[in-house]
Structure 1
Amino acid sequence: MIDSEGTKLFHTTMPFTEKLGVEVLEHGPELVRSRLAWQEDLCTLGGVLHGGVLMSLADATAAVSAFLNLPEGAQGTTTVESKTNFLRAIRSGYASATARPLHTGRRFIVVETEIHDDAGKLVGKTTQTQAVL
């Protein structure tokens, strides 16, 4: 089921996610889940969902996770480091991202995001550091 409040949060704070077609499934301080559908215009040759699209999904999902874990008085976050390992391709269906905070400090928030395909297989894993603004 689509989380319309979460989807609005993504699209309002990061309009690029609306262009990608990102839908939020769940959002809260401990867990943020989102997805996007395979689309031919988001692929490389051979119908493989582009790695940059998957990284964008992971980045946006982690950013909302960090935002929901901001310390009191903070204004927002910005990505200062992001590392992704790609493990398999997506050629149809959805890419689903699940982000969980690993560290929520006063200056940095570290979030780990996993991307899975429709079969539940791990497609990629991203570890990201967000600076607190």
Structure 2
Amino acid sequence: MFSLLIINRNLRNLQQISCRLLSSLSKNYICDSSVIEAYHTNPQLKSIIDRQEHQFYYHADSKIKQELPSVFKQISSGSHSPKKPYYLTNSTSENTIDHTTSNKISIDEFIKITPWNDRGKGKFPGLIGMEILSMSHDYVSCQLKIREELLAPNGYLHAGVVVTLADTACGYGCMYSKPSKAKSFTTIELKSNFIGTAKAQAVLTCEARLIHQGKTTQVWDAQMYTIDFILAHVPRLR
């Protein structure tokens, strides 16, 4: 009975952590008219939006030509926009969203990174709250919000979290950039240089870049930083 109580308690703790993770990864997307139109014509986009893992908004004065699905919430004229919004748009459309606006993502990029974020669900990357922001042949950008559970006993970010973020970012990049005949990969060397640290509530960003691509090996370089300073540098050989 004592063991059962411990197991049930641990399960409740894991469920609470999972709920916090889902909440932290959920985003507010402000959409232009091209997104509404693409929702009706692009099955991939529709399936992602219909999962309702994120909140999708549109301005009342948007030039909407299609019937508005219930998954899109209206922002009426004069009302406040949702907190920390991302702007989802068709990269080729001419809309009112300023092209200099930060946190803007195209429909194509949104569709591309979603399966990679899905890979981490229920696995270690999902457990620490890692989120892919951008991905291309030789570049991966990701981030996580530092929570209390990720701290070392001294109250600062555990070094293992930094290495995990770098290792996973480089690994995803290697998978995305591997030769067509390659089936998988494994790490053969990893070195980390720690320059600073961070505390809870800070957002840790990782940028991984492909430095060298050979026939059987790739060399990736990752840099971790917060808005205040660089935390670590991780050169890696695969």
Give the deviation of 1:13 after TM superposition: 6.2
Is 2:206 the partner of 1:117? no
Is 2:119 the partner of 1:12? yes
Once the two structures are superposed, the pairs formed by residues 49-60 of structure 1 within 5 Å of their partners are: 49-60=157-168
Runs of 4+ in 1 over 6 A off after TM superposition: none
Q: Which has the higher contact order (CA 8 A, sep 6+)?
A: 1
Q: Give TM-score scaled by structure 1 length.
A: 0.88
**Structure 1 residue aligned with 2:153:** 45
**Structure 1 residue aligned with 2:59:** none
Once the two structures are superposed, the pairs formed by residues 1-133 of structure 1 within 5 Å of their partners are: 1=103, 3=110, 5-6=112-113, 8-12=115-119, 15-92=123-200, 93-119=202-228, 121-130=229-238
Residue ranges of structure 1 left out of the alignment (5+ in a row): none
Higher strand share: 1
Q: Give TM-score scaled by structure 2 length.
A: 0.51
- CA RMSD across the alignment: 1.9
Return the alpha-carbon distance in structure 1 between the equivalents of residues 118 and 164 of structure 2: 13
Return the alpha-carbon distance in structure 1 between the equivalents of residues 208 and 111 of structure 2: 18
State the structure with more CA Rg. 2
The amino acid of 2:221's aligned partner reads E
Higher helix share: 2
Count of residues in Structure 1 that have an aligned counterpart in Structure 2: 129
Residue ranges of structure 2 left out of the alignment (5+ in a row): 1-102
Identity, % of aligned pairs? Answer: 24
The amino acid of 1:26's aligned partner reads S
